[in-house]
Structure 1
Amino acid sequence: MKIGTALLASFFLTATFLSGCQQSSNLPQIGKATQELPKKLQDKMAAKNMEKYSPILVRVFKEESVVEIWKQTRTGKYDLISTYNICKWSGKLGPKYMEGDRQAPEGFYTIRPSQMNPNSNYYLAFNIGFPNAYDQVNGRTGQHLMVHGACSSSGCYSMSDENIAQIYAFGRDSFKGGQREFQLEAFPFRMTAENMARYRNDPNYKFWTMLKEGYDIFEVTKRPPKVDVCEKRYVFNRNTDGKALTPAGMCPAAAPDSSLQTAFASYQKKYDDAFSSAREKKMKAPAPTIQGVEEASLVADWSRKRAAGVQVSREPPSLTPASKETPDAPDIAKENAVASKAANPAEKTASTVVPTPKPEAAGQSLAEEEAQNSGAPVTPAANEPQEKKTLWKLFGG
């Protein structure tokens, strides 16, 4: 009797969580990967001088919890065509360091047709391509990290089914039009002067200023930057004379684009002024961020122990105040209702990332299942502010 009651309660709990994420259960399952974009969006593309099958670029912003789809116009530049709310992303602001740390990646990733999964158990999905060349050369580990539906996340970016259907359609159509790969740029937040000022003392700031170089190129040119990795860092629009760069090798000298120096100088001047002004104002408090490899290791160890059935704390260990990450996803609902409250000796404070987090190993199993369903292997493609750095030098790499 008790078992039956528990199963019934678990069913209603799962249903409640799915409802809370507004999962679109009425969307078609047969032919889901071939759905056309809504007429409203097609009309918007026509109004913005965009071809149906023109290339796209995807930008992800964690703190704002949004995914942007940019599409090439007939001028060759890109324009924003649609913005979608992220249903759930796991972890905190900051990059992914290792398997089991529950972090969603940040950086520049390449999506190819082989990474699109029309057979996903989470409606539709595509593999981000983590670890990329930058991640690998810096010793970062993890696999099968997705953008997918079903509002469930364990190191992924999860969308409602309705939203992933449209995002998937944009990618599919761009491949039909001849785009061989599209760029996904994942940022901790919109990299405005105000936000950079807010996080100027964060341990991740140096990494974020590197990402901002690529962010700024797109903001100024409205064209995706050419991304390479050398000297274990990202470089952008670097002239390589057709030679491939090695991630740990020397970077070629930067050659500023003289035709764009005026535009970059104007952009930089506005940024510098706004940054200086923001530092003098009372700003919104920063969100919790991952405190480097030390915290990532604690969370990864917690995940391994939890997956092995060892009694650990209810929430992952944290070295910063509790995160405000949105809970109530299906992967959380499936977690055993009885969670030990015994504190992990290694943790300093308890994060409230989710009320009853699912073991990371289970999240990885989900991702491995997604990879199998896709039918194709994936080839992954406190600091002082640097607000005075000139953009023509910065944009040269």
Structure 2
Amino acid sequence: MLRSRVVTAILMSCVVALAAALTGCASYYPPHMRPLSAQTRALMAEKGMTPSQPILIRIFKSESELEVWKKKDDGHYYHLKTYPICNFSGGLGPKQKQGDLQAPEGFYVVDAKRLNPKSHYHLSFNIGYPNALDRAEGRTGSNLMVHGQCKSRGCYAMTDAVIEEIYALALEAFSGGQEKFQVHAFPFRMTTANLAKQTDSHWFKFWVNLKEGYDYFETTRLEPPLAACGGQYVVNGNFPDGQYPNPKRSCPRYSKLPVVAFKPRPEKRAVAQSDLAKPLASVMDLHFGQATPVYNVMTLGPATPDLKAKPTKEAARGPAEKLAQRDR
């Protein structure tokens, strides 16, 4: 057990040191090949994550935030980081047609082919609009991206530094074996309170439908099983007799599958980056033999108290005596 903990600490030291070295050379790489920063790798280590684990992305228009989640070995997604969205065009509500400059809302899927290292906007990935439901509803448009350069014409624009990191996270996940990742694009955080403020909106019914996917992920921390029919998303649906729904037709009979609430497992103590400058025994809370006094250079006296020394007259006084002396 002791050997395992020591080896883990040594490996973590090597990983962060290597990441720091790579980050120092990052400016020499083209943008799509730049490695994750030492800070992000250290954050993953603290959270018990690895770069190669699968990712899931959530976008919130009103809050101008993009979240990246990573799937741990227990099969559930855990929050890694939230990035600011620098810019997006249009308002709340889904994209309807080519040229409306509206950023999409809904559930989308990104595979490695949708990553564009030669984007005119630094780096980008296509979120997959229009999806099957968009097409069934007659929504048009194409090449809707998350990209850099902080300017948008219907896309979600990030700073160049932010899109580089998100792009690197996607590459790491694909290299680790993930075939595609989900992107959930919401108008706002789909809490009951936030949705209640939108009852007069033309898109209220659509947003109630989006909330089903939002709630499923919030409850389970799993990718929501998604289908489309009858002009809406079907989240976590069970279609009997092999009747898979057609987005252009009404929904066949289906039921909802059981939902098991997520219970986070107890986290093991991770080795933080700040620990790496400390002695290994201190990080691992190990003690070898009796501690010796440490001497202070300025006073040439021991900086740690001598446990065998006799108490001074002041120290021997009780609390009542000290208070009485102070009040005189």
Q: Same fold (TM over 0.5)?
A: yes
Root-mean-square deviation (CA), in Å? 2.0
Paired amino acid for 1:254: Y
Distance in 2 separating the partners of 1:216 and 1:72: 18
Q: Secondary structure at the match of 2:255?
A: coil
Distance in 1 separating the partners of 2:88 and 2:111: 22
CA contact 1:29–1:123 (8 Å) conserved in 2: no
Paired amino acid for 1:253: R
Distance in 1 separating the partners of 2:173 and 2:238: 26
2:320: which partner in 1? none
Paired amino acid for 2:253: A
Distance in 1 separating the partners of 2:109 and 2:28: 27
1:210: which partner in 2? 209
Q: Secondary structure at the match of 2:214?
A: helix
Structure 1 residues 47-98: Cα deviation after superposition (integer angstroms, max 9, x where no partner)? 2222321111000000000100011112111011011111100000111111
Q: What is the CA-CA distance between 1:35 and the residue it aligns to?
A: 1.4
1:249: which partner in 2? 249
Q: What is the CA-CA distance between 1:30 and the residue it aligns to?
A: 4.4
Paired amino acid for 1:79: Y
Q: Secondary structure at the match of 1:102?
A: coil
1:173: which partner in 2? 172
2:79: which partner in 1? 80
Show the 5 A alignment for 1:103-252: 103-240=102-239, 244-252=244-252
Q: Which moved more, 1:129-138 or 1:192-201?
A: 192-201
Q: What is the CA-CA distance between 1:28 and the residue it aligns to?
A: 4.1
Structure 1 residues 205-238: Cα deviation after superposition (integer angstroms, max 9, x where no partner)? 0000000000000000001101111122111122
Paired amino acid for 2:209: M
CA contact 1:238–1:252 (8 Å) conserved in 2: no
Q: What is the CA-CA distance between 1:126 and the residue it aligns to?
A: 0.5
Q: What is the CA-CA distance between 1:239 and the residue it aligns to?
A: 2.6
Q: Secondary structure at the match of 2:233?
A: strand
Q: Secondary structure at the match of 2:238?
A: coil
Paired amino acid for 2:238: N
Distance in 1 separating the partners of 2:211 and 2:122: 33
Distance in 2 separating the partners of 1:37 and 1:157: 21
TM-score (norm 2): 0.68
Percent identity of paired positions between Structure 1 and Structure 2? 46
Distance in 2 separating the partners of 1:203 and 1:162: 36
Q: Does the alignment pair 1:67 with 2:70?
A: no
Q: Secondary structure at the match of 1:53?
A: coil
Structure 1 residues 229-271: Cα deviation after superposition (integer angstroms, max 9, x where no partner)? 11221111223466643212343433333463xx59xxxxxxx
Q: Secondary structure at the match of 1:164?
A: helix
2:91: which partner in 1? 92
Gap regions ≥5 residues in structure 1: 1-26, 265-397
Paired amino acid for 2:227: D
Counting matched residue pairs gives 237
Distance in 1 separating the partners of 2:243 and 2:149: 42
Rg larger in structure? 2
Q: Which has the higher contact order (CA 8 A, sep 6+)?
A: 1
CA contact 1:91–1:104 (8 Å) conserved in 2: yes
- Going from structure 1 to structure 2, the CA distance change for 1:254 and 1:29 (only over 3 Å counts) comes to farther
- Going from structure 1 to structure 2, the CA distance change for 1:252 and 1:118 (only over 3 Å counts) comes to same
Paired amino acid for 2:56: L
Distance in 1 separating the partners of 2:236 and 2:117: 33
Gap regions ≥5 residues in structure 2: 1-25, 263-328
CA contact 1:89–1:156 (8 Å) conserved in 2: yes
